[in-house]
Amino acid sequence: MPAPGLAVGAGRYAPSPSGDLHLGNLRTALVAWLFARSSGRRFLMRIEDLDRGRDAGAAASQLADLTAIGIDWDGEPVVQTERAEAHAAAIERLDSSGLVYECTCTRKDILAAPTAPHGPPGAYPGTCRDLSETEREVARARIAPRLPALRLRVPAGESTLSFEDRLLGEVVGDIDDFVLRRGDGTVAYNLAVVVDDDAMGIDQIVRGDDLAPSTPRQILLQRLLGLRTPPALEYVHVPLVLGASGARLAKRDGAVTLGDLRREGVSAVDVVQLLAGSLDLLTPGERISSTQLVSRFDPTRLPREPWVYPGR
């Protein structure tokens, strides 16, 4: 149950433990935390460790870095791989409605196939959508011992969807028959995030704007599974942090993680000032804590353009 005085809803931050958080990750986490705390919501943490191939076991250090810049959360972090039963149940529910089919296509197959009429570049062309059972058996044998992936059969009339984003305004996206579970058994991000957000009571989703194009897929899944959809859910996609070259921030830009900066004499408190300044929440020369930022946080003042980190 939420603590006294807190809203029933919640915001969240959901890092993938594939390495140390950089300034872009920390900035998005801070914005998500400010949105939740300033609106009286709970703030929850989820470790998105589904992709074990990329999992660097960095969850503990990531949580420590978030704590160091003043971000706290309610309850224990949710670990996504511990929610496999709920993910499987959602896929079964879709399958029972005739909305799931096997796919044996490789990425190379998809790129080589003719694009479906009016489909966006790289969209799944529907190669395995309407195969007969005999054709499916042949396809399974062809890829053995690899198993088929599972794709969503997007209902007629649902291939385009729009939603209203708090920062981006109206976002329109095309939806193809996307993967729900990979052939290696890994549940796809789009399915897991929808199921987990609903189970956690999250009604405010703040994340990087690179994830905005996948949101229409997630909203469609919400509809098909009978879960909450916008406007009951609020989406806020935050502009990314770029390096001095104008490309997305990465280790090539030098000291970009809390550990890197600490070794150069930059404290976590200094990082808070840097991030607050990038969000127009700080006047020159002012020193402020993350907690003090909550009372002055005004979503209408948030920058709509990426922040270019000048480096050190």
- Check if the beta carbon of residue 97 is closer than 8 Å to that of residue 223: no
Tokens of 300: 């209408």
Residues 6+ away with beta carbon under 8 Å from 180: 91, 94, 100, 149, 150, 151, 152, 187, 188, 190, 191
Strand 10-13 vs strand 204-208: parallel, antiparallel, or unpaired?
A: unpaired
Residue 189, annotated as binding a ligand: yes
Pairing of strands 42-47, 10-13: parallel
153 annotated binding-site participant:
no
Q: Is 207 annotated as a binding residue?
A: yes
| 232 assigned ligand-binding residue | no
| 46 annotated as belonging to a binding site for a ligand | no
Q: How far is CA 116 from CA 120, 126, 311, in A?
A: 8, 8, 44
Q: List, edge to edge, every strand of the sheet that includes 149-152.
A: 100-103, 149-152, 179-181
The structure tokens listed for 110 are: 């998809």
How is residue 149 written in tokens?
């992936």
Residue 124 assigned ligand-binding role:
yes
Name the residue type at position 100: V
Q: Is 14 annotated as a binding residue?
A: yes
Query: Are 34 and 289 within 8 A, CB to CB?
Result: no
Q: Has 136 been labeled as part of a binding site? A: no
Please tell me whether 128 is known to bind a ligand: yes
The H or E element that residue 142 is part of is helix 133-143
* 105 annotated binding-site participant: yes
> Which of 86, 23, 100 lies closest to 308, judged by CA?
23
Residue 267 counted as an annotated binding residue:
no
Residue 181 structure tokens = 């579970």
Structure tokens at 31: 């914005």
Per the annotation, where are the binding residues?
12-16, 48, 103, 105, 124, 128, 189, 207, 251
Per the annotation, where are the binding residues for ATP?
251
Per the annotation, where are the binding residues for L-glutamate?
12-16, 48, 189, 207
Per the annotation, where are the binding residues for Zn(2+)?
103, 105, 124, 128
